[in-house]
Amino acid sequence: MSNSAIILISERDSTVRNRSQHNQQKQPDSSCNEKGLQSHNHKLELSAGMLRERSVVILLLGFMCLVRILVLISVQQLSSSSTGHFDTLRARKHLERITSVGPRTIGSPENEITTVNYLLDQIEQIRSESETGPHSITVDVQRPTGSFSINGFISYYDRVTNIAVKLQPKTSAQHFMLANCHFDSVANSPGASDDAVSCSVMLEVLHSLANLSTPLKHGVIFLFNGAEENNLQASHGFITQHPWAQQVRAFVNLEAAGVGGKELVFQTGPENPWLVQAYARAAVHPFASVVGQEIFQSGLIPSDTDFRIYRDFGNIPGIDLAFIENGYIYHTKYDTPERIPTDSIQRAGDNILSVLKHLVMSDELADSSQYRHGNMVFFDLLGMMVVVYTARVGTIINCTVAIATVICLCKKCVLYKCNLVYAVCVVIFSWLVTLVTVLIVALIVTLTGRSMFWYTHFYAAVCLYGSAAAGTIVLIHTLTKDIFYRSASRVYLAELFFDVSLLLWCFLLLILTMCGFCSAYVPMMMVVFPLISKLLLRKHFRARGCFRCLVSSSLAQDGVKGASLQYSVLYLTGLAVPYVHIMFLIWVVFEVFTPIQGRSGTGIPPDVVLALIVTLATVILSTYFLHVIYLSRSTKHILAGLGSVFTVMFVLVCCGLFFPYSADPSSPRPKRIFVQHTTRRFHALNGSLQSSDSGLCISSVDYTDMQHITPHIPQINDSIRWDCQDHLPYCGSSRKSWYLPAPEVSPEAPLEFRLLSRQETEWGTVKMTFEVKGPSLMSLRMRPQAGASLSSWSFGDKTPQFNLSGGYFISYSRGLDAPAWSFWFEIQPPKSSDASPDEGLISLAVSAHYFSGSDRHSEQLESLLKRFPAWVFPSSWISTYHMYRY
């Protein structure tokens, strides 16, 4: 072979080798492109049938705004036209006249003389006008004396005032409805809403019924009671002592926990479902909720009404109604007639008149025992109508819904396998983390001294705590989607978490039903409507092949429809009914509990309470929104938006931008405090004065204490806290008070306390009898020494009841011209080994409170009151404290 041939062959081999090496170098690039294409196709498969993030945000925000608007329209829709039977203008004149005398505390001339005379004059006018009609009116002024146990202490009353008016056909009646209101008020408040407006409404209802041309089938007793504010005393005197009480078969109680707005039926019964049915049929403007009843009767709301007295001591059923809006000015100087809209009076009058007229013409009132048993589920739909059915029917409905839900979910469990359990754990975990996160935020706000920033700026709390709660939920589900469900389709996850929400609501439905709660209708609605709407939308949200393809992520091959904008709108439309009702209940909770934090004491931080409520509301509203969240292609902007809102609000709150209180006349949010000019005297065992002091005692009613007041009155600080010794039965005020030294008080009617007799009984006890003279409101606390115990006394059922505070407490009130208060008790001495001769057997502390007349003022007290800023509402009075040992 020639050299040239060898060279050609070598060049060819070199070329082949170079091409081979070149092809080998290109091979990795081809593999990368193939993998990238597969990854891209996989992402397309996972995101098939999904919504743009912007669409999700617009849909959810628009839906929530629409729901909120519907609730606000319902709440603010008062009566705009009269039915022609109830005269609102006349009722308003009654209201203005009753409140014109100012505060009407028990035992004051304003309450016992002026108001009583006005009510009697108006009743006499009504009687004269209707004298020729088919009805007769009988008036009886009762002044009962008695005592009873309530909330762990004894309530004692002497000659308090009741005005009872019996309206009946001239042919007489055997069965009566009772309509109750109270005309007394707390100190320092004109009490327009609580409860002068109710008495004004009752006067006009009496006028309307008395002038009917057709005689009533049964009678009505209108009770205007003058002693409700001090432990529900006058109603107890009527129902346990008045001869007419035996003819009462049911009652309607008119109360207030706010100023104006709609009057809410917040409790009924016990049992007697016919009462709720009567309200549902007769009420012109219904507004009722069994949820409110179960919340109120749980004790979460620190309040009581005469309903409890008639229920517990009269054993009669009834309906309890109350104004609940604007509780910020409840029991303050701002509770004036002009703050109660005329339309509120009109709707209350229309409802009470219609319901009473219906009840006194019904057959059930004559033999209510026949219709006694059973509870009712009741709730109104945007104030348009009341849905009412028996608890037994409710149980059947709830169980049917639960069974149907379980059947629907069982069909999918085979496909879901363990994923359903994992998803339930994810949802519950997200709730727990959300709760902890928001509580941490609330505690930080509290520790930085910004507690109650939302009291005047409520939506600031929604923005801070709501954004924290919503952001935490969305973040956890975003991480779950990106980490644990990376290979699952988003449509599959949306379907999975919808079924998880359905399952959890179904579980709550079963729990509440088994526990006998009528409020179980709420989770029932949250199961029925979403389930039905989802079943109706199956054609808009499913794979053309089979559901299993969602699990295998073969969406692109099987042609999944997924979620369109039309589907999302229809899905949210299916949630409208339960969400409107849930939003209404959330509004009621906030409307009641937010103002309560301004008078709930200094124990639990109110920001923790409000944060819990906001978190609960967010969790409830988010349950079925998870379905839409998982259909979103991304949540980056949602998280960024929520995070930005939270960050901005947190900075603004911590910087002190939101001041808790306001003196704005159009919408005041006052800080409540108690101020009393008091003198304390401590007596030795031999009766001699051992020590005494006097000063101005200031007590905060909310959590912020004196934090915002001390810049205006620097003397108020922790160095002069009230000195209270644990072994004393009572110190004259709450233990967390501030004490400014001041001269002694000298009331015109000073307290007189005397030991009338002391004798040893044949069974080894010591019986002591005492007499007390003083103002119309007093309290007695007793603490036996170590080893001694009370065996009997003259109060209540004669059996002493030990108070949780470590002693015995008796609250006393009286009307005018009441005799001296006398009482006795028997005490069992301690064993000789436990006896301490220096301590005696028992310590007694008597506090006298001067809420009316010239004795309620002092120069030093008035001088201090002028120094408080305008946004403070100080409830002030004079008091004395005497401690004795025997």
For residue range 125-164, list pLDDT tens digits in order. Answer: 999 999 999 999 999 999 999 999 998 899 999 999 999 9
Residue 487 or residue 12, greater confidence: 487
Contacts of 476 by beta carbon, 8 Å cutoff, 6+ apart? 426, 429, 430, 433, 434
Active-site residue, 228 included:
yes
Give residue 538's pLDDT: 80
**Strand, helix or coil for residue 726:** coil
pLDDT over 90 percentage in the chain:
71
Give residue 850's pLDDT: 96
> Which amino acid, 622?
S
Give residue 855's pLDDT: 92
pLDDT (mean) for 610-616: 97
Q: How far apart are CA 430 and CA 422, in angstroms?
A: 12
CB neighbours of residue 448 within 10 Å: 13
With helix as H, strand as E and coil as C, how does 793-819 read? ECCCCCCCCCECCCEEEEEEEECCCCC
Give residue 302's pLDDT: 72
Reported as half-sphere exposure (CB side, CA atoms, 13 A), residue 134 has a value of 13
Least confident of 9-23, 323-337, 439-453, 470-484: 9-23
**Strand, helix or coil for residue 368:** helix
pLDDT (mean) for 377-387: 87
Least confident of 24-28, 272-276, 811-815: 24-28
Least confident of 110-119, 141-150, 514-523, 596-605: 596-605
> Which amino acid, 476?
I
Give residue 836's pLDDT: 65
**Strand, helix or coil for residue 443:** helix
- Burial (CB count <10 Å: 0-12, 13-18, 19+), residue 773: middle
Reported as half-sphere exposure (CB side, CA atoms, 13 A), residue 187 has a value of 22
Q: How far apart are CA 864 and CA 868, in angstroms?
A: 7
Q: How far apart are CA 307 and CA 296, in angstroms?
A: 12
Looking at residue 692, the DSSP 8-state letter turns out to be E
Reported as half-sphere exposure (CB side, CA atoms, 13 A), residue 868 has a value of 22
Residue 605 · residue 337 · CB < 8 Å: no
Give residue 84's pLDDT: 59
pLDDT tens by residue, 746-774: 999 899 999 999 999 988 899 999 999 99
Looking at residue 669, the DSSP 8-state letter turns out to be B
**Strand, helix or coil for residue 60:** helix
Residue 85 or residue 219, greater confidence: 219
Residue 585 · residue 526 · CB < 8 Å: no
Q: Which of 649, 586, 643 is nearest to 612 (CA)?
A: 586
Task: Name the average pLDDT for the chain.
Answer: 88
> Which amino acid, 400?
T
pLDDT tens by residue, 482-527: 888 888 888 889 999 999 999 999 999 999 999 999 999 999 999 9
pLDDT tens by residue, 693-714: 999 999 999 999 999 999 999 8
Give residue 44's pLDDT: 42
Give residue 491's pLDDT: 85
Residue 330 pLDDT more than 80? Answer: yes
Give residue 31's pLDDT: 46
Residue 254 · residue 183 · CB < 8 Å: no
Give residue 484's pLDDT: 86
The C-alpha angle 497, 503, 509, rounded to 5 degrees, equals 140
Residue 17 pLDDT more than 60? Answer: no
Give residue 505's pLDDT: 97
User: pLDDT band at 588, cuts 50/70/90?
Assistant: very high
Q: How far apart are CA 395 and CA 418, in angstroms?
A: 31
Looking at residue 244, the DSSP 8-state letter turns out to be G
Q: How many residues in the chain?
A: 886
Looking at residue 289, the DSSP 8-state letter turns out to be B
pLDDT (mean) for 402-419: 87
Q: How far apart are CA 201 and CA 99, in angstroms?
A: 14
User: pLDDT band at 646, cuts 50/70/90?
Assistant: very high
pLDDT tens by residue, 174-198: 999 999 999 999 999 999 999 999 9
pLDDT (mean) for 405-428: 89
- Give me the catalytic one of 45, 110, 204, 228: 228
pLDDT tens by residue, 518-576: 999 999 999 999 999 988 888 766 543 344 444 444 333 334 455 678 888 999 999 99
Residue 865 · residue 876 · CB < 8 Å: yes
Residues 441, 446, 448, 452: what is their CA dihedral angle, to the nearest 10 degrees? 110
